Amino acid sequence: MTDELLIKFLLNETTEQEGVAVQEWLDADPANAAYFGQFEKIWKAGRKLGASSTVDTDLAWLKFKEKVAAAVQEEDTQPEAVIMPLRQSFGWMKIAAAVLLIGSVWLAYSLFGPDRYEELIAANEVLIEQLPDGSELTLNRNSEISYAANFKHHRSVKLNKGDVFFNVAHDKSKPFVIDIDQVSVTVLGTSFNIKHLKEQTEIIVETGIVRVELNKEMVELRKGEKVLIDAASPKLIKEQNTDQLYNYYRSKLFIANDTPLEKLTATLNEAYGVEILISDPDLAAEPIFTTLPEEKGLEENLNTICSTLKLRMERNENRIMLSRLK
């Protein structure tokens, strides 16, 4: 695939046969799509910088292609570099490339340097995404993260808010690092859940080992262990995880196994966007054993809870009060 044909594709000047060829090339390998995405960013930036220059445009065009290839190589992709002379009708393109080389050395760094991050945002739906290293993330609703643009070389992630499950691809030479405010989480290849909401950060490990650092403290978490960090009094206290409620947005089940009612209702509040209140502290601490499918909806699941614990429910729009039957 030639860069000249990719430019024709960007300008919608390809023939039908050429357009099909480019699309098949893009679909054939994620590396091709990544190369094209970076090529497009650099090309558009070059056009914005202007269309006048006195430099050797043929030489500038070759250097422009080398710049694209170098940027992609930084991402561990291997595009086929075929250098062909441009037809005269593409002369203004060469000039734009020359302007890019003269006035925007900083651009390549801003696009592909370690300080640039790509955003992932889950709004009203659970989002499943694969990162460039093969790691898979599941973002609960209302979650936001970002990851380094050159992720294959710098596996750096920032969790801004929300609830995210990480299934990290193993790479001993490049640790996977997640920053959450003052907390840093480092792994090589493992699976774990991080919830960062309302000034609290909870980390629960399903497989492997996770290192959590806060200021000068550090703990290692293994399968079935967790740490809960409160911003008001930040400490790293390791403990056993005793329930599966954290996993509801992946399993689509609310699994309570000797779980305090208050914890179950807090998860239902988060999942359904309501406010379930409990009439007294003793009832809030009441343990419950039940499994509630998310698909059955809030009303049916609340009826199951009331039937299990012999409670009554009073509802006022999104505010629901649970209390014992008298």
CA atoms of 175 and 127, how far apart (whole Å)? 24
Closest of 273, 299, 274, 293 to residue 140, by C-alpha: 273
Which sign does the torsion angle of CA 183, 267, 226, 224 carry? negative
pLDDT of residue 268: 95
pLDDT of residue 147: 93
State pLDDT tens for residues 196-249.
988 889 999 999 999 999 988 899 999 999 999 988 778 888 999 988 999 999
Lowest mean pLDDT among 40-44, 184-188, 250-254, 263-267: 40-44
CA atoms of 63 and 1, how far apart (whole Å)? 18
**Orientation angle between helical segments 105-112 and 57-74, nearest 10 degrees:** 20
Q: What is the enclosing helix (H) or strand (E) of 11?
A: none
What residues contact 294, with CB distance under 8 A and at least 6 apart?
248, 252, 253, 254, 271
State pLDDT tens for residues 124-180.
899 999 999 999 999 999 999 999 988 878 899 999 999 999 999 998 888 999 999
Q: Answer yes or no: is pLDDT of 191 > 90.
A: yes
Would the pTM count as exceeding 0.85? Answer: no
Q: Answer yes or no: is pLDDT of 72 > 60.
A: no
CB 101 within 8 A of CB 68: no
Contacts by residues 220-227 (CB-CB < 8 Å, ≥ 24 positions apart)? 221/192, 226/202, 227/202, 227/203
Domains and CATH numbers, the chain: 3-112 (no CATH), 117-240 (2.60.120.1440), 245-324 (3.55.50.30)
